[in-house]
Amino acid sequence: MSQQPQTISINDLDISQLADIKKQLEEELNHLTSSFAQLKQAQAKFKSCIDNITEVKPQNKDKVILVPLTNSLYVPGKLSDVDNVIVDIGTGYFVKKTRPQAIKYYKGKVDYIKTNLNALEETIGKKRENLNYLVSALQSKLQNQPETTKS
Amino acid sequence: MSLAIRLQSASSDFQKLQASMAETVDVRQKLEAQLSENELVKKELANVTPENIVYKQIGSVLVKQDLTDAKSTVETRLEFIKSEIKRIEVQLKEIEGKQEKKKQEVS
């Protein structure tokens, strides 16, 4: 959307217009990088889910664990079912899955996020390039005509 | 003098339009997020085998639910969200048109 006017007519724009575009690009870039960080976080969460599932193994059956009731209140409990876990699949639905199934589910999630991350990374790179190009154009403009454009 | 007043009222109208535009865009984004979440749930429910039990969260309790029920609920939700998105799209177009008109009025 914003690529064409930049590449075609960047030299025809005056300084205030360039500054506007720069601001817009910076905002977009900020938004994208924060999305990137959020995705990373989500990915880490799913990864830790996988780690947790691997801990629910048959060797740990009947071992005492602490079950969190709230963030700061725990009660002791025993691990009775080591074969199944209940997975949150979103919008209030949960599915009881066997451990391999659950691991597969989370792996799928991690991969899904990974493809998104890659796509996002590429977009961020492109935006950054655009921004750099724009900034250099803006600077050369400022150097070439410092007197005439003072408003 | 009256020109100045007209300009002022036009620009304040324009600002209002911009605000409502931002609001609708926001709503649309939320709907979009809900849509993709429900799509994912639908995909996941399609993978469920008979030995997997489906639960639905009601408040803070998990209640067992029939798979076909869950599927149809998600399906109706998807339909609803899609129709909402269509409605919002129309709204966006309307606001855009009004904005364009105001813009011409101002300039």
ipTM for the complex? 0.71
Determine the residue of chain A that is closest to B59 in CA distance: A92
- Cα of A96 to nearest chain B Cα, Å: 5
Q: What residue segments make up the domains of chain B, in order of their start? A: 2-106
Residue A77 lies in a domain: yes
Is A96's CB within 8 Å of B55's CB? yes
Q: Would you place residue A4 in the very low, low, confident or very high pLDDT band (cuts 50, 70, 90)?
A: very low
Q: Does domain B2-106 have CATH number 1.10.287.370?
A: yes
Count: domains in chain A: 1
A69 in any annotated domain: yes
Q: A132: domain range? A: 16-142
The pLDDT-based confidence of A124 (bands split at 50, 70, 90) is: very high
CATH code (residue A83): 1.10.287.370
Q: pLDDT tens digit string along A57-106?
A: 888 888 899 999 999 999 999 988 888 999 999 888 999 999 999 999 99
On whether any CB of chain A is under 8 Å from the CB of B7, the answer is no
SS3 of chain A: CCHHHHHHHCCCCCHHHHHHHHHHHHHHHHHHHHHHHHHHHHHHHHHHHHHHHHHCCHHHCCCEEEEECCCCCEEEEECCCCCEEEEEEECCEEEEEEHHHHHHHHHHHHHHHHHHHHHHHHHHHHHHHHHHHHHHHHHHHHHHCCCCCCC
Kindly state whether A90 is in contact with chain B, defined as any CB-CB distance less than 8 angstroms.
Answer: yes
Average pLDDT of the segment spanning A11-38: 90
| A48 in a structural domain | yes
